[in-house]
Structure 1
Amino acid sequence: MAAKIIASPIREFILIALIAGAFSFSYFFPDYRLPVLLAALLGSLATFWQAFRVLLFERRVSIETFNSAALIVSFVTAEFSSAAFIALMLLFAELLEWNTRTRSSRAIEELLKLKPLKAFREKGGEKEEVLAEDIEKGDVIVVESGSRIPVDGVVIFGGASVNESSVTGESLPAQKTIGDKVFGSTLNESGILKVRAERVGKESTLERMVELMKKAAENKSRPEKIADKFAALFLPVVALAGAATYFLSGNVSMTVAIFLVACADDIAVAIPLAMTAAIGRAAKRGVIIKGGEWLDVLSKMRTLVLDKTGTLTYGVFSVRDVKIEPGVSENEFWQSAAVAEKFSEHAVARAIFREAMKRVGEIPDPDEFKVYGGSGVIAKHGNNEIVIGDESILVPAGISESAIKDKYKDLFAAGRAKAYAFLNKKLIGAFVLDDIPRPEAAESVKKLTDIGVKRIIMFTGDNPRVAADVARALGIKEFRASMSPEEKLLALEAVEEESGPVGMVGDGINDAPALARANIGIAMGGTGTAVAVEAADAIILPDDLGRISEIILLGRKTLSVIKGDIVIWFFSNAIGFALVFSGVFGPALAAFYNFITDFLPLINSARLFREK
C-alpha cells in the first residue's frame, strides 16, 4: 500500500480472523449484521487513513482513494458483507506486501552471514588470528583455501580461485593473482592469498551493499507511483460509469456492484510486487536499484551519457607497453623496477609496481630510496642503484641526457605518461602508461546500441586528443572533452532537452552533480566515490559496464509485466461489468468475483521472481 510499511503481520492476521469469525457468525445468525459491520469497519480503517492522508497532505489521488470509494459505497448502501469482503482482500494484499518487503530484510541477513567473524593477519612475519572488525587499512591478510576474504583489498602474494557470486552475481569463480582486486565476503575456493586491506568496515563492498539495500527498502513511495497514476486515470472513469448506471437504471445494487468489481486492490499490490522482484533480481547481479521508479525510467531511456575516467576506463594509470634493452632479461628489468617503486605513492609508480608484482612475485624492500616529486625515484638494493623516472630525474641521478637521446619515440607516442629505467646508470628499458579502457567497454557500448539506446555520449575532463582516442577505440560517436563538473551538468540538461530522458553513468566526485540531475544516475560502486554513490539512483557494485544493458532490459521487462497486470485488470473488470449488467452479479457476488480475480495480476507479477 502506498507509503505504508507493515512492521509485523500480527494486526493483519487478527483482522482476517475477526472478519472470518464475523462471516461465520452471520451464517448461523443471518439477522445479526452488527459483527460483520464492525469487522468491516476495523478492517477498513488503515485504507481510509491512507486515502485521507494522501488527499489532505499530498493533494492527489492514490490507489487507496480508489479502494476507499468502493468501501464507502458498500457502507452507505448497507452492503456490509461486500465491505467486509473488500477489507479482507486488502488485508490479504497487505500480507503479501509484507512478505515481499521482508524479502529485502532476509536478503540483507543472508549477505551479513557471508561476513567472516575472524581472519588471519600477517605481522612481523608471524600469522595471528584477529577479529575481522579489527582489521585496518594496510594490514596484510592471509586467506587460505575454503576461507572468506574479510575485506576489500589487493592481492600481493599467491593465486587462488575466488567465488565472487555474492558481489558480482557471476557463478564461475574468478582467478586471482598478484595485483588483482578482491572483495570482502567472497570465498577462496582453492589456493592461498595474501591481501593488503584497502577498504575495511563500513567502506567495504559488503557493508556498502547492505547499506544500499536498506536504503532501497526504505524508499517506499516510488514503487507505488505507477499504481497511483493508474488510480488517478481510472477512478474518474469508474465513478462516471457508476453514476451513469445509477441515473440510467436507478438500480442501487447494480451501481454498488460496479464499484465492487472495479476495486483495484490487486493493482495496488501487483505493481510493487513486480518492482520488488525486479530489484531483487538486479541485486543478485550486483546492481542496487534504489527504488522501483527507476525501473520505469530505465525502460524509457534512449540516451546515455558515460563518464570516461573510472567508468569507461579504470581511472588509474596502467602500464600500456614496455621496451627492454637488448641484453637485459625480463626478470632483471621487472625486479629492478619493482624494488625501486615499492614504497612510492605516485600514480605512475603504483602502476609500474602493480605490473611488476604480476611478473616477479614477492618483492624485496629497497635498502634506500628517495622520491623526487614529479620526477621519479632513486633506490639502492645491495650493490645496485636503480633509477625510475622521466627526463627530469637525470640530473639528480647523475645520468647524461645522451643516454636517452632519440630513444623510444614511437613507444611514447602511444601513451600519456612515460618512465625510463636505469640500473647502475645504464638504461635498461622504459614504460609507457595510460588510463586504459576497461576490457568490456567496447562490447558494452555495442550492446547498448543493439538494445535501442539511440544516443551514447562520452563526457570527460580530459583533453580532446585523449578523448577522441578513447571514443574511437570504443565506438562512441559523440564526446565532449575538457569539461568541468558545472559544464557536465549544463551539457546534460541540454542533452535532455534534445533527446528526452537521459541516463548518466559515472564514478567520481566531479560526476555527482550530473548523476543527481540525470533522469537516472548510475554509479560504478566498486571504485566509485561515496559522493557519486549517494547521488546515484542505481549502483553497479562489480564495476562491470555490461550490467547497464542488463538493467535497461530488466526495466523494460518489468514495465511489460506491469502493463500486463493492467490489461488483466481491465479485461477481468469488463467481464465483471457484463455479469453485473446482465443481472447475474449483485453486490456480494461482485465483491467475491473481485476477490478471486485479484490473484491474476499477482500471479503475473510473481513471474519476475521465477524468471532467470
Structure 2
Amino acid sequence: MVFQIVHETRSRLRLRAHFLCDPAFDETYLEDYLGAMEDVTAVRVNAMACSLSVHFTGGEPAKIRILQALESLPMEVLGEEIEPAQQTDMGDVYRGGAMVLLTFLLPHRLVPVLSWISCFPLVWGGISTLVKQGLKVEVLDATAVTLSLLRRDYLTANAINFLLTLGEYLQDSTERKSHRLLRQLLKPPVDKTWINLDGQEVEVEVKSLRVGDLIIGHTGELMPVDGTVVSGDALANQSAITGEYVPVHLQPGSQVLAGSVLEEGHITYQAERVGAETTMARIGKFITTAIQRPAPYQRESEALADQLVPLTFGLGTGVFALTRNVQKTAGVFCVDYSCALKLSAPIALRASMYRAATEGILVRDGRSWEKLSKVTTFVFDKTGTLTERSLQLSEIIPLDGASSEERILSLAATAEAPYNHPLSQALSQEAARRGVPLLPRSLAEYIVAHGVSSIIAGKKILVGSRHFLEDDEGINCLPADVPEQELYKSGNNILYIAEEGKLIGLLALNETVRPEAKDTIKNLKDLGARRIIMLTGDNRQAAQAIGQKLGIDEVKWEFLPEEKGGFINSLKKEGETVAFIGDGANDAPGLICADVGICLREGSSLARETASVLLQKDDLRPLPWAYSFSKQTISYTRENFYLATGLNSAILVLALLGRISPLVTSIFHNSITVGILMRSLSLSGEEKK
C-alpha cells in the first residue's frame, strides 16, 4: 500500500492514498488497525479526499512505526468482495437468440455485418485464451464460429454463438457467489463503553480504547475487547465465542473475551487486545481472508471437454490439409463436444439442488453440491449440533440417607426458581415434568457465580458449586468425592445442595444428545465417510463421554474458534475433503474453511450466512440423504458426459466422411445437447434413495 505524506507535525500525520477512495475500502478496519497501536490517539479517514489523519504521541519513533505499519497494511483493509469483472448476463443470451431469428428476417446484405459483430466477443475470447492459456474449448468454439462466418454460413455461426452464450450464462449463474463479506456481522454491536479513569467512570468510544485501559462491565453489557479481570464477580455468556451455553464465572485473574455478555454481576478488567486484535476481530479476519483467498474451481466436465479439444482440432486441421474442403473442416469443428458438456453439468446440479430444496436442504451453489459428494471427513461441532441447546437434569444422588430424589429436586428447584439461567431452567422443567411441587420460601439470596441461599419451610437451603458450599459456607462435602468423579467422567455439570449446614445431595445436569445424532453418524459411515470428528470447547471428560455415546471416531476438546479453522485446513492438507457442521457464530471459521459448511435451521445468523448448505429443519436426518443424493447427482453428470461424448463422436465420424453438412452437423449436435439437458433436468424428480 503506497501512502503519500501531505502534511505532518510532531503529533499528527496527514497522508493520501488512492485506495482510500475505493468503494471496497473498509474504513473501520483501517481505524481499528491503527488505533490498536500504543502511540496512536486518534485516526480519521476522509474517503472523499482519499486522505488519512493520524494523531499520535511519542514523536519521531512513533511516526516511523506508524509508517511501517501502513507499508505492511493487510489486504483485509479492502473489506468488500470483488465480483468477477466479466459475467454473461441474460441480455447476452437474448441478443444471441435474436440474432439467430434475424438471420431469417433481415435483408441479406445486413446479415454478414451483424453476424460478425454479434460473434466478435466469442472470436476474440478464443484468441485471448489461445495466447494466455493455450488450446482450450474456447479456442475450438471460436474456430468453429469463425470458419462458419468465413463460409458465409451465418445461421450456423449465430446458432453456435447463441448456444455457447446460453451455456456461459448458466455456468456463471451456478458459480456466482451468493454472499458478501461477513465483517459487518462480526463488529461488536456497541460503539461506547465505560472505563475507570482516575477513579471516575467515564464513557468512551470503543474504537478509542487502548491496551491497559480499565474497562467496567455491568450486567447485560457486551464486552468490547479482550482482557483480564482485576476486580469483581460476574457470570458471562460466551456462547458467541466458544459455543457453550453454560455461563462462565469471571473473577480476578479470569480471561474476558470480546463479544461475551455479562448475564449477572459487575467486573472491572484490563484491556489486553483491542481493535483488530480482539477475539471477535480475529474471527472476522479469518473469515475475510478465507473468502478472499483465490479458489478457482473448474468443473470436471469442462476439464474432460478440454482434453478432447486437441483431438478435434487436430482432426479438423488434418481434414483441411488433406482435402482443402472448408465445409468438411467446419463440420468437424462444429462437433466441439463443449455445448452438451458445459450445459449438462450445471443444469444437472441445479435440478438436483431443486430436489434437495424440496427435502428441506438449501444449497448455495453447484460447487458446494459437487464437493459434498466427495466428502471423506465430517467434522461436527458439539454444542447445538450433536446436542440440544439446553441442559437437562440427568441424575439426582441423595447423600444424607433420608432425602428422596423428589424432595431434593423440590428444594433445589424452589431455591433456583427466581433466577433465569440454564441450570435453574433445567431444574424447573424437570420438576414440572415429574409433577414435583415448588415450596413456599421466605428469603432468597443469589451469590453471583457461586449459588443460592434460600429459606424454605423455615430451613436454610444452599444450592451451588462445591466451592460455594465447602469453602464459603464451611459445609463438609467429602461424601460427594466418589459420586462426583463418576458424574464428571460422564460430562455432567454438578450442583450441590445442603440443608441446615449438611450436604444432602447432588444434582447432575448435562447436555441432551440429539435423538437422531447416533443414527446420522452411522448412516454417514455406511455411505462412505472415512472419518467422523467432533470439535468442542468442552473439557476432555465431557467431550469423550458424548463421543463414545455417539460412536464418533475422533474427539477434539477445548477448541477455540480460530483453532477450528486451522484444524479444518490441516485435514485438507492431509488430502481429506471436509464437511463441517456447526450452528454458532464461533463456528464461522470452520464453516468457511471447510470444503462444505453445513448449518441447521436454528443456527446463528452468522453461521447461516457462512454455511454453503442449510438444513431447513432442526434435524440432522436429512444430512445422510443429501450426502447420498449429491453422489448420485455427480454419477448422473458423468453418465451424461459419456453419453454426449459417444453421440458426438458418431456425428464427428459422419462429418469427417463428408456424409453430413455443417448445418446438419449443427442440428444433430444441438439435438443431442437438448436431449442431454432434458436428461439432466429429470434429476429434479428423482425419488429419494
Q: Which TM class, normalised by the smaller chain length?
A: 0.5 to 0.7
Residue-pair matches, total? 486
Is structure 2 residue 635 aligned with structure 1 residue 560? yes
Q: CA deviation at 1:18?
A: 5.1
Alignment partner for residue 302 of structure 1, among 366, 376, 379? 376
Give the counterpart of 2:332 among 236, 254, 258.
Answer: 258
Deviation by residue 1:57-81 (Cα, 9 ceiling, x = unmatched): x968876555333212211232222
Indicate if the aligned counterparts of 1:50 and 1:64 stay in contact, CA closer than 8 A: yes
How do 1:219-230 and structure 2 match up within 5 A? 225-230=299-304
What's the counterpart of residue 476 of structure 1?
A: 552
Determine whether 1:23 maps to 2:104: yes
SS at 1:37 equivalent = helix
Q: Which protein has the bigger helix share?
A: 1
Secondary structure at the counterpart of residue 78 of structure 1: coil
User: Which shows bigger deviation, 88-97 or 232-241?
Assistant: 88-97
The separation in 2 between residues aligned to 1:249 and 1:364, in whole angstroms, is: 103
Partners of 2:442 and 2:357 in 1: CA distance: 48
The answer for the alignment partner of 1:610 in structure 2 is 685
Aligned to 1:235: 309
Shift in alpha-carbon separation, 1:527–1:426, aligned structure 2, 3 A: farther
Distance 1:314 1:358 in 2: 18
Partner of 1:503 in structure 2? 579
- How far apart in 2 are the matches of 1:345 and 1:54? 65
Q: Distance in 2 between matches of 1:370 and 1:61?
A: 79
Unaligned runs of 5+ residues in structure 1 are: 26-31, 105-136, 138-220
User: Is 1:542 matched with 2:617?
Assistant: yes
2:351 pairs with one of 256, 271, 277? 277
SS in 2 for 1:288: strand
Note the alpha carbon deviations across 1:144-174, whole angstroms, 9 max, x for none: xxxxxxxxxxxxxxxxxxxxxxxxxxxxxxx
Q: Which residue of 2 aligns with 1:373?
A: 448
Say whether the 8 Å CA contact 2:475–2:503 is kept in structure 1.
no
- Alignment partners' CA distance in 1, 2:542 and 2:398: 26
- Return 591-600 or 479-488, whichever deviates more: 479-488
**Correspondence 1:452 to 2:528:** yes
Task: Find the aligned partners of 2:112 and 2:443 in 1 and give their Cα distance.
Answer: 89
Question: What TM-score do the two structures reach when normalised by structure 1?
Answer: 0.66
Per the TM alignment, residue 450 of structure 1 is displaced from its structure 2 partner at its CA by 0.7
- 1:276-335 per-position Cα deviation (integer Å, ceiling 9, x unaligned): 122223333333323211222222222233333333333653322234799878877656
Bigger drift between 564-573 and 538-547 goes to 538-547
Counterpart contact for 2:518–2:550, Cα < 8 Å: yes
> Percent same amino acid at aligned positions?
25
Residues 523 and 101 of structure 1: is their aligned pair in 2 closer, same or farther, counting only changes over 3 Å? closer
Output the CA distance in 1 between the equivalents of 2:146 and 2:478.
93
Counterpart Cα distance in 2 of 1:90 and 1:594: 12
Following superposition, the deviation at residue 514 of structure 1 comes to: 3.6
For the residue of structure 1 that corresponds to 2:343, the secondary structure is helix
Contact 2:492 2:510 in 1 (8 A): yes
Contact 2:477 2:503 in 1 (8 A): no
Deviations 1:527-575 (A, max 9, x none): 5444444444333343433333222222212211211221122012111
Residue type of the partner of 2:622?
A: R
Write the distance in 2 (CA, Å) between the matches of 1:96 and 1:86: 16
Which structure 2 residues correspond to residues 383-532 of structure 1 after superposition, within 5 A?
A: 387-394=462-469, 401=476, 412=487, 414-421=490-497, 430-485=506-561, 487-518=563-594, 520-532=595-607
Contact 1:411 1:432 in 2 (8 A): no
Query: What is the alpha-carbon distance in structure 2 between the residues aligned to residue 538 and residue 55 of structure 1?
Result: 37
Instruction: Name the amino acid aligned to 1:312.
Output: L
Task: Give the deviation of 1:589 after TM superposition.
Answer: 1.0
Paired AA for residue 476 in structure 1:
I
Contact kept in structure 1, 2:140 and 2:333, CA below 8 Å = no
CA distance in 1, matches of 2:85, 2:685: 25
Instruction: Give the deviation of 1:370 after TM superposition.
Output: 3.0
Conserved? CA contact 2:385–2:600, under 8 Å: no
Question: In structure 2, the residue corresponding to 1:554 is in which secondary structure?
Answer: helix
Task: Work out the CA distance in 2 between the residues paired with 1:226 and 1:366.
Answer: 70
| 8 Å CA contact 2:174, 2:366 repeated in 1 | no
Residues 335 and 360 in structure 1, CA contact (< 8 A), matched pair in contact too: no
Q: CA RMSD in A?
A: 4.4
Q: Rate the CA distance shift 1:388–1:61 in 2: closer, same or farther, 3 A.
A: farther
Counterpart-to-counterpart distance in 2, 1:366 and 1:67:
84
What is the Cα deviation at residue 586 of structure 1? Answer: 1.1
Mark the runs of 5 or more structure 2 residues left unpaired by the alignment: 1-83, 179-219, 221-294
Residue 320 of structure 1 is matched in structure 2 by: 394
Q: Tell me by how many angstroms 1:448 deviates.
A: 1.4
Q: Structure 1's 581 and 398: CA in aligned 2 closer, same or farther, altered over 3 A? A: closer
Supply the AA of the counterpart residue of 1:23: F
User: What is the correspondence of 1:38-77 to structure 2 with a 5 Å cutoff?
Assistant: 38=113, 40-41=115-116, 44=119, 47=122, 66-77=140-151
Give distance in 1, aligned partners of 2:297 and 2:637.
11
Report the CA distance shift for 1:405/1:441 in structure 2 as closer, same or farther (over 3 A).
Answer: closer
Query: 8 Å contact 1:357–1:363 — kept in the other structure?
Result: no
Separation in 2 of the partners of 1:468 and 1:356?
29
Higher relative contact order (CA 8 A, sep 6+): 1
What's the TM-score once normalised by structure 2's chain length? 0.59
| Residues 33 and 359 of structure 1, relative CA distance in 2, 3 Å threshold | farther
Q: Distance in 2 between matches of 1:39 and 1:287?
A: 46
Residue matched to 2:79:
none
Equivalent residue of 2:515, what SS? coil
Q: Equivalents in 2 of 1:340, 1:47: separation in Å?
A: 77
Aligned to 2:242: none
Task: Pick closer, same or farther for the CA change 1:258–1:407 going to 2, 3 Å.
Answer: closer
Q: Structure 1 residues 82 and 503, CA, compared in 2 at 3 Å: closer, same or farther?
A: same
Alignment-derived partner of residue 669 in structure 2: 594
1:225 and 1:319, CA in 2 relative to 1: closer, same or farther beyond 3 A?
same
Q: Note closer, same or farther for the CA distance 1:482–1:87 as it changes in structure 2 (3 Å cut).
A: closer
2:367 to 284, 287, 293: 293
Task: Call closer, same or farther: CA 1:60–1:399 in 2, change over 3 Å.
Answer: farther
Closer/same/farther in 2, CA of residues 481 and 46 from structure 1, 3 Å limit: same
Corresponding letter in the other structure for 2:158 = A
* AA partner of residue 97 (structure 2): I
